[in-house]
Amino acid sequence: MVAKLTKGFWPKTANIILRNRILILIVIASFTVFLGLQWENMRFSNSQANLLPDDHPTNLEYQSFLKLFGEEGNTIVLGIRDSSLFTPSKFNRWNKFSKQLDAFPEVDFVLSTDNLQELVKDNEKQEFVLSPYIKSKPNTKAQVDSLKNHLFNDLPFYESLLFNKETGTIRTVMYLDKDIVNTSVRKDFILEDLTNLVEDFEEETGLNVRISGMPYIRTLNSQNIIDEIGKFILAALGVTSLIFFFFFRSFRATFISMCVVIIGVMWAFGILGLLQYEITVLTALIPPLIIVIGIPNCIFLINKYQQEVKKHGNQALSLQRVISKIGNATLMTNVTTASGFATFIITDSKLLKEFGIVASINIIGIFILSLLIIPIVYSFMSLPKTKHLKHLNKRWVDAFVNWMERIVRHRRITVYITSLVLLIASIIGIYQIDISGSPIEDMPKKAEFFKDIRFFEDEFDGIMPVEIVVDTEREKGVLKLATLRRMNQLSDYIDEVPELSKPVSAVNLVKYSKQAFYGGIPKYYQLPTSQENNFIMDVARKSSGNSNLLKSFVDSTGQTARITTYMQDVKTDRMEEIESRLLEQIHKIFPDERFNVYMTGSALLFLKGTKYLVKNLVLSLALAIGLIALFMAYLFRSFRMIIISLIPNLLPLVVTAGVMGFVGVPIKPSTILVFSIAFGISVDDTIHFLAKYRQELTASRWRIEKSVYAALRETGVSMFYTSIVLFFGFSVFVISNFGGTVALGALVSATLLFAMLANLILLPSLLLSLEKSIANKETLKKPQIDILPKETLNGKGKKG
């Protein structure tokens, strides 16, 4: 019944398309304009990609932390390592620079040598007061040296926060307004105001200002992504069009195909704007993905049109047959690809869900565009000239097909042994794959801001915030001496971890209070004894300045405190080891029955988010394979055909995963889609091949060998063309500055090439080797849907 419906559906569709050409073009143009107007709603993500669902425990802890202490990723640091800074003119200019930063409305607070406050004891009032570090502007080198020595030797509270005593590096810490950190205002401030101010300072003083901090890193990294999206869309179009032209030797075929995929890319951006989704690390991949899916559609349609023209020279009949014969097969391949991406929609990750929705919609969109535009545009043109059809008889293409046929005919055992060796080697490689939870690993290594990241890691031991939240479960429990001692014990452990910076918490402030209580003598920078505690805390409670400082470390009730440290960019296994050992210490120091202590921060959030993404990818890929297997079962109604069709599609994925393990490419958000893209496209080739094979099988009265070779010759050329175009199309990504983009391009290119060989060599070999068990009328039943209509069976005298 379904087969009968589809049999009549496509000829009718062809008639409708060709009779309403002008109207369809107007509708496409109107819809494209409508989606073009939605571009203004497009926005690039201003916040760090949250890969976890909203109700994930790690996310809930992070949100709880933000509710208590506010945004933790609002810090930008500016540093200088240059001894000439400590001269009156440059030191005063540095302080003026801090004042200029503080004047911006986007800046909440600046901590620098200019406004540094010392905690001192007022003996008359018996309270702590904040006294300016710089009481008068220094005019001589001796005065600057005195200030430097005082800072480095007498104020341990600010060590690792404002200075590195060993190298003499000074830095200014700028806290952005928390309300603008995750908005476009941050981007404008950093790229314009801050950049201009730093350039002016450097020009005046000749000093090199290093800048870092998560808002700054995210802004410059996002800008790099924005710059590269356009660059790679153009590069992919350029390379694919050149290769397309090399194959077809037709300017108009190339131009028409490029117009189709360009409109598809415009629709992709328009749908992102229409749905008001942010352009993230994943949705940024959709435009080149549309080129990837669109080009094979164009190749199959144009190739079929030219074959029909060469066969009988009737344009109207050729165009009708392009739609009726290739339309169904192209629909099936695009539906399977879209289904693979649609599986992301059922995940809990917002990032994956949005990617799945937009990708699947646009894959169907590019199918509709190619099916409508190519036949309609060709209908207004003259028939292809003889020179445009020469590619159908290229000797080197024939040589390639003959080579594949020889291997399938004579070297099947070699094919199976090679496949088995590759499978075993790949499984070994898979066990060596790492998962990368580093938010800065993919960033361009040659960029100045990346060099600054390494500078601050060397000088101050890290830039990625890690927060430990200590809930004492009782009001004012933080400042109990027993609690402070526990926090100090944990801080000492953190200080011993080389990849973590010196921690900052209420403990530091209490130590500083004791130092101030004893006249600022540095040796007293330590926790008070039980006897001292009552006196010092009594003075502290009277001190308004002290309580203002305390707000940064303790919540308003005095029940919950934070311990802040920063982590270097380390490998995921080391990051997990640090987390595990810290949690072990936490449980040892803070008994679970008396304290609720947890770790959070953007560094850990990204790590756990990446692992969650990998888990969801595996589930989604498994679901995609299951869906496509069911789809194959519905099409071919043969369990054995399902197994045979999946083998040449899964083997390339396994090989790619093995290569990733051997060459050290980790699983991360940027490389995680390699498998989905490659699987979706390689399945397309399988459907085309098996559809043609089954058709030939019926026509040749179940002569298996003849059917396999006929299908190989008919589909081999188109599959070869599409794979080569896609290989070079994705290869342009290797010129990227981003490690993840380079890996994505190289891996997809290699996987598609291998998938082509698997579908053109391994798949026919399996069909021939298992011919008796799969190719008979009982086993290979009549399909539910005729993917290719019967009249396409041959061109050797029958109606074709």
Instruction: Write down the pLDDT at residue 392.
Output: 59
The reply to whether 290 and 308 lie within a common domain is yes
What is the full DSSP assignment across 152-202? Answer: HHH-GGGBTTTEETTTTEEEEEEEEPTTTTTSHHHHHIIIIIIHHHHHHHH
Residues paired with residue 107 on neighbouring β-strands, in sequence order: 176
Which range among 134-138, 388-392, 600-604, 776-780 has the greatest average pLDDT?
Answer: 134-138
Inside any domain, residue 464: no
Q: What average pLDDT score do residues 77-101 get?
A: 90
62: pLDDT confidence band, cut at 50, 70 and 90? confident
Tell me, yes or no, whether 239 and 258 share the same domain.
yes
Q: Using the predicted structure, report yes or no on whether residue 87 has a pLDDT greater than 50.
A: yes
Per-residue b or e along 240-251, where b marks 16 or more CB atoms closer than 10 Å to that residue's CB: bbebbbebbbbe
pLDDT at 488: 92
Q: Are 49 and 609 a contacting pair, CB within 8 Å?
A: yes
The mean per-residue pLDDT over the stretch 316-345 comes to 80
Average pLDDT over residues 692-705: 75
Could you tell me if 354 and 407 lie in one domain? no
Residue 358: its pLDDT value, please?
A: 92
* Contact (Cβ atoms closer than 8 angstroms) between residue 347 and residue 620: yes
- Beta partners for residue 563, in sequence order: 468
Which residue among 327, 362, 386 closes a domain? 386
Give φ, ψ of 464 to 5 degrees. -95, 115
Query: Do 403 and 339 share a domain, yes or no?
Result: no
β-strand pairing of 43-44 with 163-164: unpaired
Evaluate whether residue 773 is within a structural domain: yes
Average pLDDT over residues 671-699: 75
Mean pLDDT over 40-61 rounds to: 75
CATH number assigned to the domain comprising residue 400: 1.20.1640.10
Please state, in angstroms and rounded to a whole number, the distance separating the CA atoms of residues 559 and 422. Answer: 59
> What φ, ψ does residue 176 adopt, rounded to 5°?
-75, 155
Mean pLDDT taken over the chain = 81
Is residue 366 pLDDT above 90, yes or no? Answer: yes
Domain contains 100 = no
User: What's residue 25's pLDDT?
Assistant: 92
Q: Please state, for a pLDDT cut of 70, what percent of the chain lies above it.
A: 89
Span 94-105, pLDDT tens digits: 999 999 998 988
Lowest model confidence (mean pLDDT) among 20-29, 295-304, 520-529, 764-773: 764-773
Of the two residues 183 and 317, the one the predictor is more confident about is 317
In angstroms, the CA 442 to CA 124 distance is 58
Tens digit of pLDDT for each residue in 204-220? 999 999 998 888 887 88
Pick 692 or 189 by higher pLDDT.
189
Highest mean pLDDT among 210-224, 398-412, 475-489, 617-631 belongs to 475-489
Do 689 and 760 lie in one domain? The reply is yes
Q: What is the pTM of this model?
A: 0.76
What is the rounded average pLDDT of the residues 707-732? 79
pLDDT in tens, 488-498: 999 999 989 88
CA pseudo-torsion sign 367, 372, 375, 377: negative
- The DSSP output letter for 787 is S
**Residue 32 confidence (pLDDT) above 90:** yes
- Residue 258 resides in a domain: yes
Question: Average pLDDT in the 277-302 region?
Answer: 79
CA dist 301 and 334 (Å) reads 13
Pull the structure tokens for residue 260. 């189709």
Averaged pLDDT, 181-187:
78
Q: Hey, what are 121's tokens?
A: 């004891």
Does residue 451 fall inside a structural domain? no
Tokens of 374: 């190519």
Mean pLDDT calculated for residue range 668-677: 73
Q: Please check whether residues 322 and 405 belong to one and the same domain.
A: no
Q: Which amino acid, residue 333?
A: T
Q: What pLDDT, on a 0 to 100 scale, did the predictor assign at position 768?
A: 80
Q: Are residue 250 and residue 331 in the same domain, yes or no? A: yes
pLDDT at residue 391, as a whole number: 59
Same-domain pairing of 773 and 669: yes
Does residue 183 register a pLDDT over 80?
A: no
Whether residue 738 is contained in a domain is answered as yes
Distance CA 82, CA 61 (A): 41
Instruction: Indicate if the pLDDT at residue 162 is higher than 80.
Output: yes
How would residue 156 be classed by pLDDT, with cut points 50, 70 and 90?
confident
- Per residue in 393-441, pLDDT tens? 666 667 877 888 888 888 888 888 999 999 999 999 888 887 776 667 7
Pairwise pLDDT comparison (725 vs 547), residue with the higher score: 725
Whether 232 and 251 map to the same domain: the answer is: yes
Tokens of 321: 């047959």
Q: Is the pLDDT of residue 798 over 70?
A: no
Residue 483 lies in a domain: no
Cα 719 to its chain centre, rounded Å, is 29
pLDDT value of residue 713: 78
Confidence of residue 264 (pLDDT cuts 50, 70, 90): very high
Q: How many domains does the chain have?
A: 2
Q: Are residues 234 and 344 in the same domain?
A: yes
pLDDT at 797 over 80: no
From 279, 327, 413, select the one nearest 6 (Cα to Cα). Answer: 327
- Considering the domain architecture, whether residues 341 and 406 belong to the same structural domain is answered as no
415 and 298 housed in the same domain: no
Percentage of the chain exceeding pLDDT 90:
13
Q: Is residue 791 scored above 50 in pLDDT?
A: no
Q: Does the pLDDT of residue 34 top 90, yes or no?
A: yes
**DSSP state for residue 557 in the 8-state scheme:** T
Q: For residue 764, is it within any domain? A: yes
In terms of average pLDDT, the best of 101-110, 377-386, 569-578, 621-630 is 101-110
Q: Which of 100-114, 379-393, 444-458, 475-489 has the lowest mean pLDDT?
A: 379-393
Mean pLDDT of 286-299: 80
Give the residue with greater pLDDT, 179 vs 392: 179
Structure confidence by residue, pLDDT tens digits, 533-551: 777 766 666 555 445 567 7
Q: Give residue 329's domain range.
A: 1-41+227-386
